Structures are given as structure tokens and as C-alpha cells.
Amino acid sequence: MANADQIDLMLDQWRRERPDLDLSALGTFGRLGQLTAVLLPAVERVFARHGLRGGEFDVLAALRRAGRPYTMIPSELSAVLMMSRAGMTNRLDRLEAAGLVDRRLDPADRRSFRIVLTDKGLETVDAALTEHAANIGRLISVLSEDERAALNRTLRVLQDAVGRPTA
């Protein structure tokens, strides 16, 4: 097979050893796993250059996407990022300690507070996003626009079929 890789070899071995099973999906999931193992560190390196972890970038990006005044309540952030409130609290503690967000009492409900992107947080997320966009654009540049669209459609179908992560 031209351009055969380790996954192709594995599938050939399984076809020989277990011809009674259709293990072709192993190829798809194996490649997704390999891509994730390569792509995630490449993405995380960009965030690290800005003093962030991926999850912290996600919080800052959610606040930035919310638009001025770049504020949300913690439960909104948890829902948007599909994570537990306890996990969100840990991220917010780190971001607040770094001066990237502030916790302020909610004027509409004094029992609650709002998370506000600071000026430093806005500068940080904008710089990280600019570099992140260039990085992921470079990583996917081997695919044509049609291939990217087809991949997005295919992944959406698979995601809808197996379910989306929940908090």
C-alpha cells in the first residue's frame, strides 16, 4: 500500500488475525488520537508563551467573546465551557492571582459576583488569540478549503451521533 503508516500496518495485522471483525474504525480513532497527541502540545505551547494553560485561555476567550464589558457570572462560564463549577473556581483563582480577571459583586444580586476581564487580561487574550489563530491556520494549511469543510461536516456528524460533552 502506497504511503502506508503504522495504523495501516496495525489494520492489516488485525485483518489477518481477526478477519471476522470489522476493525476499520480503529484507523479513524487511531488517527484522531495521533493527531490529538501532536496538535495539543503545539497549541499549548502558544498559550504557554502568554503565561496561560489551555483552560485558562478558554476562560479569557469566553469573556472576550461576550463583548464589552467582558463580564460573566461563574455559572455562565461553566456552562459555556462545559465544565464543573469547582473546576471553574480553580481556573478563576489562578487567573485572578495573575491579574487577568477580577471578581466583582454583582450589582443586580449582591449575593453573587461577576467575573470581569481586566485590561491586562484583554491584552493577554488578544495577543494569545492572534498567535493561536496563526498557529492553527498553519497546522491545517495542508488541507484545501473543500477538505476543511468536508472534515468539519464529518466531525460534526460523528459528534452529534456520539453525543457532546456535558458539564
Q: Is residue 2 part of a domain?
A: no
Is residue 98 in some structural domain? yes
Q: Say if 13 falls within a structural domain.
A: no
Whether residue 58 lies inside any domain: the answer is yes
Tell me whether residue 56 is in a domain.
yes
| Residue 69 lies in domain | 25-162
Q: How many domains does the chain have?
A: 1
Is 14 contained in some domain? no
pTM for this predicted structure: 0.84
**Secondary structure of the chain as H, E, C letters:** CCCCCHHHHHHHHHHHHCCCCCCHHHHHHHHHHHHHHHHHHHHHHHHHHCCCCHHHHHHHHHHHHCCCCCEECHHHHHHHHCCCHHHHHHHHHHHHHCCCEEEEEECCEEEEEEEEECHHHHHHHHHHHHHHHHHHHHHHCCCCHHHHHHHHHHHHHHHHHHCCCCC
Tell me, what CATH number does 118's domain have? 1.10.10.10
Q: Is there a domain that residue 36 lies in?
A: yes
In order along its 167 residues, the chain shows pLDDT tens digits of 568 889 999 999 999 999 999 998 999 999 999 999 999 999 999 999 999 999 999 999 999 999 999 999 988 999 999 888 888 889 999 999 999 999 998 887 777 889 999 999 999 999 999 999 999 999 999 999 999 999 999 999 998 998 866 54
